[in-house]
Homo-oligomer: A and B are copies of this chain.
């Protein structure tokens, strides 16, 4: 079975035990709870470990202990602004001896469902999802599995399953509009991602509309445009469509920095100066927001805190037991707040 063509099998704990002159249980203890082993025994085991270069079989230990020490995260896209969230999540988990595995859903509830199914089959000890847009089957599987679960990037008004980390995105978008109005802009357009299956896109559009309403400005549907995909090109193309209908806009509230960067590039391509001719504000405080010229005014979404807090919430659940009752459990929502960062683009 697990043998090379030339017949050398993989090392087992038993090989280490024989070399150290102890039982496998003692090797197992030396690896997991060293203080529970006599110092002299520990030294013998460690010497044998060193000599053989033994690597524990975590598949076997996962089966025996019903704990895989793996946590899964399903993200919509493998790109900014999610990288800092994953980084901090991974850091917190690693310190607790958990490994983070990733799945990418492309904003597709069915792909998310397939990923959740695969992760549950691998018996991960916890799952982090992005809030909203789950299929009923996904939720049913999670409840049946009783796996610790946290949702991230929720809006503070969002529905969620048990635990969530949120940011008041709707209010954030409203603050962007207030800021643009305070800068003297009156004809403010909006570019966002598809609101289908995406509560973040919905919340941001909602905040834009709140901001207009608060100022007594009418909602002009023709001044709103949906980007076809979350790439800079998507933002550029959306601005082109928008300006064709409403060439007199003097500001754009954009629901993502990636899209906003594309908006700025397209404005430059058309000879418009940002912010003189067109003010552009983004969302997320992604890397490009502070790096590009002009630097983007944006909403800091606490991406790093989001990952840290999500990981901590998961760890609290996993420490309780390997299976939890998602339905009966009191749910928790941790709201992180946000900050409007004013830079050169507005």
Q: Does A262 contact B (CB under 8 A)?
A: yes
- Contact sample, A vs B, 12 pairs, CB 8 Å cutoff: A2-B322, A53-B140, A58-B122, A59-B68, A90-B104, A101-B102, A231-B287, A232-B292, A233-B290, A261-B291, A261-B292, A288-B288
13 further A-B pairs in the complex, CB-CB below 8 A; given A4-B325, A5-B321: A3-B323, A4-B146, A56-B121, A58-B122, A78-B83, A79-B83, A99-B118, A101-B102, A232-B288, A232-B291, A233-B290, A233-B291, A262-B291
A222 in the interface (beta carbon within 8 A): no
Q: Are B59 and A63 in contact (CB under 8 A)?
A: yes
Name the one of B68, B86, B287 contacting A232, with C-beta atoms under 8 angstroms: B287
B55 with A117: CB separation less than 8 A: yes
Contact with B along A324-335 (1 / 0, CB 8 A): 110010000000
Q: How close is A277's CB to chain B, nearest CB, in angstroms?
A: 15
> How many chain copies?
2
A60 within 8 A of B: yes
Residues of B within 8 A of A55 (CB): 117, 120-121, 141, 145
Which residues of A are interface residues toward B (Cβ below 8 A)?
Answer: 1-6, 8, 10, 53, 55-60, 62-63, 66, 68, 78-80, 83, 86-87, 90, 99, 101-102, 104, 117-118, 120-123, 140-141, 144-146, 231-233, 236, 261-262, 265-266, 268-269, 287-288, 290-293, 321-325, 328
Which listed residue (B53, B117, B262) contacts A144, Cβ 8 A? B53
Q: How far is the CB of A208 from chain B (nearest CB, A)?
A: 24
Instruction: Find out whether the CB atom of A324 lies under 8 angstroms from the CB atom of B5.
Output: yes
A231 surroundings in chain B (CB, below 8 A):
287, 291
CB pair B323 A123 closer than 8 Å: no
Q: Report yes or no: A121 in contact with B78, Cβ–Cβ below 8 A.
A: no
Please give, as numbers and ranges, the residues of chain B lying within 8 Å of A1 by CB-CB distance: 66, 322
CB distance from A326 to the nearest CB of B (A): 10
The residue on B at minimum CB distance from A328 is: B6
Inter-chain contact B290/A266, CB cutoff 8 Å: no
Chain B residues within 8 Å of A62, by CB:
59
Which residues of chain B come closer than 8 Å to A291, judged between CB atoms?
231-233, 236, 261-262, 265
How near does chain B come to A295, taking the closest CB pair, in angstroms?
A: 9
**Chain B residue at minimal CB-CB distance from A3:** B323
CB distance from A88 to the nearest CB of B (A): 13
